[in-house]
Structure 1
Amino acid sequence: MRQTLPPDQRLSEVVRALRFPLILLVVFIHVPLASGEGQVLALDLPGSSYSWYQYISRALSFILGDMAVPMFFLFSGYYMFTKPKVWGTKAVYVGEMKKRWGTLILPYIIWCTASLLADQGLALAKGEALPWTSLGASFSRLSYTFVLGPENFPLWYVRDLIILSFLAPVIDWVSRRAPWLLLLLFLLYLANCCPWEIPAPRGVIYFTLGAILGSRRIDMVALAERGRVWVLPASVIATLLLPFCPEAGVLGTLHLLYVPLAMAGALCLGGWVYDRMPKLHHFHLSMEKYVFFIYVAHEVLILSAVRGFLYRHGWLETVWGYFLCGGVVVGICLIGYAILSRWARRSLAISLGGRL
């Protein structure tokens, strides 16, 4: 029988165990071709294999996948503010920002640079002209590589997390003194009225939600489990039906409302796995060390090479090809991690911000 843990420890274990399934979702978000995003399926879905690929890939990559990155923002905000700190003091603020240099900023620079070098190397191999012909062109490419893109596109989450870290005193004040501002921001987000793009409004919302919960030491898993009788069925039904719902117009609001529902469902499911399936829970915990590497590395040539191979052979836009692509990408990342951790352990640790 499982030993009963203190609530804080159970919460920590559930959050850590969820990170691996969530990073798998992040990989599968990027598997379908860009043309598949935003597609609305017909309600009379025919039985062809391509139709099933459209439905499954949309349900997993563009519906369920929408909650993966917001959950990482939620976790980051929660654990950044769960320990009381006087963010308004210079010593605390400077000390915390110094920590972010090694854990966030340096890995961000390294992996954006790796993606840039890989892209330029491919361009040279193909005999294409490089964009460094003038100061303006070079500045434009560098600004895209490290800010506007970024070059390693999934790292927009780290870019936004860096910005939110610098805004920690403001977020701390909001979370403790004016949490109602989050509701106002969420309503603006639903109305598509947020007047900025970087950091992403959804990142600000869920990071701040995590800060509000963390500053009050509210167990987010226990909170979600209070409504599990309806949360889990509702999130499953919504996941199955939303592929038929357009993301534009009035009905698009349903997709935005789905995200917190799915997040609550994931927390409930994580708690259930912890309580009822200890072997699976421990497997997820054992895979946590690979999460950040899979995240930063999978878009650096790996996904494009695997997806390109499957696409050229007509296998990508099939159900089995969809899962094969994601599985092979993750497998290559795991092999790459094993090789680097054996032969370049220190360099790997630096590139992962000490997450080794």
Structure 2
Amino acid sequence: MSSSVTLPTHGTKPLSTSTAALAAKRDPSIDIARLCAAFLIVLFHAGESYSMAGGPDIGGNPPWLIVGNLSLWGRVPFFFFLAGCFAARSLAKPGASAGGFVSSRIKGLGIPYLFWNGVSLAMLWVALRAGASFSSEPVLTTGAALGKLTGIFFMPANGPLWFIRDLILASLLAPLLRKLGPWLLVPSISLIILPEIPLEWMERGCPRPSSFGYFGIGMLLSYLPKGIFGKLFPNLGLGLLLCLSLGVVHSIWHLTPSRFGGVSVGAMGILLTGCYIHRSFPRIAEFMARHSSASFIVFAANVPFFAVARFLYPRVEGKIGYLPYFFGLAVLFFVLALVAHHLIRGYFPRLLVLISGGR
């Protein structure tokens, strides 16, 4: 993933002490890319809210589809690739144990996952008590509430956090997956290219097979030799332009890239964006890298934020259009999330365990 880190040549071979020290260093370009991917998720959900509120299509397409196509649907797989790669590195460190890795992942992902689902459940309960109407009336029995809180047999209360649930499950399997070594490529590709499970299965809490495929490919990225990324893209600007051009072509002509090929290019574009910002705009890069840990808050809190935004829009309808309202709020939310994370980290650091896994 980064040219600054020496990676192992085999998944079961321990890293040397010096290499482990290098692997422990954070790569600012990856941190910046994480924040870029989180912002793309916010834009996608802003587009969804725009359409749900009744906003007209743009050029014959809903905005959420345009955002998805431009990024070649690589924004969420990017996090799976990244998590899988870091999982493999963590498990390869001298003295690392499967139990310790799983415990840290459950704490870092599970606690904020339950917290933000709890926030969404509380908002849903308040909305129902206030007489709000929904296209399909949600059921909030004790069993349903518990299912929505955990994402077991139900879609998580904070729907887009299905990918955190899948990431937790993939992390639990990571120690076993690592033992497959390079053979992990076979099941990973198979899980990615198979048709997605039906929507009703997802609504019943079934994890997406592709989630584990992307995670597995991410683990295999730890095989890449040192410097290969820089050799593949000596000109970051041209590489980024190529990825963006493919996204524009896909958005205009509605081409259907293979699931693995398409999202891989999209995820690569996100990573190249992080590298390009890091190299070309040092002050902006420093700010984004310093606040990259706010990415969990960004993609978890934007769902309840836009739920409130949709509820409030009828009060300002006629004074402001759909597009400036929802996408203006997307930028405002992103800034507020960074500010909130900065203040919480500075004055209430213990709360970070709840809202972002301690980061």
User: TM-score, normalized by length of structure 1?
Assistant: 0.76
Change (3 A) 1:310 1:182: same
- Residue matched to 1:101: 106
Q: Secondary structure at the match of 1:33?
A: helix
Counterparts of residues 28-43 of structure 1 (less than 5 Å): 28-33=43-48, 36=51
- 1:156 is aligned to 162
Q: Is the 8 A contact 1:70 1:206 kept in 2?
A: yes
Partner of 2:76: 69
State the alpha-carbon separation in 1 of the partners of residues 226 and 212 from structure 2: 19
| Equivalent residue runs for 1:230-245 within 5 Å | 231-245=239-253
Q: Which residue of 2 aligns with 1:211?
A: 219
Quote the residue 2:194 is aligned against. 188
CA distance in 2, matches of 1:105, 1:155: 11
Measure, in 1, the Cα distance between the counterparts of 2:235 and 2:191: 24
Count residues with an aligned counterpart: 326
Q: 1:219 to 1:55 in 2, by over 3 A?
A: farther
Judge conservation of contact 1:310–1:325 (CA < 8 Å) in 2: no
Distance across 2 between alignment mates of 1:77 and 1:70: 10
Flag the 1:226–1:6 CA change in 2: closer, same or farther, 3 A.
closer
2:128 maps to 1:120: no
CA distance 1:54–1:81, shift in 2 (3 Å): same
Q: Assess if the C-alpha contact under 8 Å between 1:111 and 1:351 holds in 2.
A: yes
Within-5 A mapping of 1:1-356: 6-7=4-5, 12-33=27-48, 36=51, 51=58, 54=61, 58-64=65-71, 66-85=73-92, 92-126=97-131, 131-132=139-140, 137-147=141-151, 148-189=154-195, 192=196, 198-215=206-223, 221-222=229-230, 224-225=232-233, 231-246=239-254, 251-253=255-257, 257-300=261-304, 302-310=305-313, 313=317, 315=320, 317-318=322-323, 320-338=324-342, 340-341=344-345, 344-355=348-359
Distance 1:346 1:84, change over 3 A: closer
Deviation for aligned residue 1:184: 3.4
Q: RMSD over aligned Cα, in angstroms?
A: 3.8
CA distance in 2, matches of 1:118, 1:215: 44
Alignment CA distance shift 1:34-1:219 (3 Å): farther
Distance in 1 separating the partners of 2:107 and 2:93: 22
Contact 1:232 1:268 in 2 (8 A): yes
Q: Displacement, 1:167?
A: 0.8
Q: Which amino acid in structure 2 is aligned with residue 95 of structure 1?
A: G
Contact residue 108 and residue 158 of structure 1 kept, 8 A = yes
| Contact 1:31–1:303, Cα closer than 8 Å, also in 2 | yes
Q: Give CA deviations for 1:90-138 in whole Å, capped at 9, x if unaligned.
A: x922222222232111221122112111211221132889845xxxx43
Contact kept? 1:11, 1:220, Cα under 8 Å: no
- Give the TM-score normalised by structure 2: 0.75
Q: Which runs of 5+ in 1 are unaligned?
A: 38-48
Give per-residue Cα distances to partners, 1:232-289, cap 9 Å, x unaligned: 444222221222445xxxx534566321112223333332332333223212212213
The one-letter code of the counterpart of 1:305 is V
1: CA distance, partners of 2:75 / 2:146: 28
The answer to whether the 8 A contact 1:67-1:263 is kept is yes
Unaligned runs of 5+ in 2: 7-21
Read off the aligned partner of 1:179 and give its amino acid letter.
Answer: L
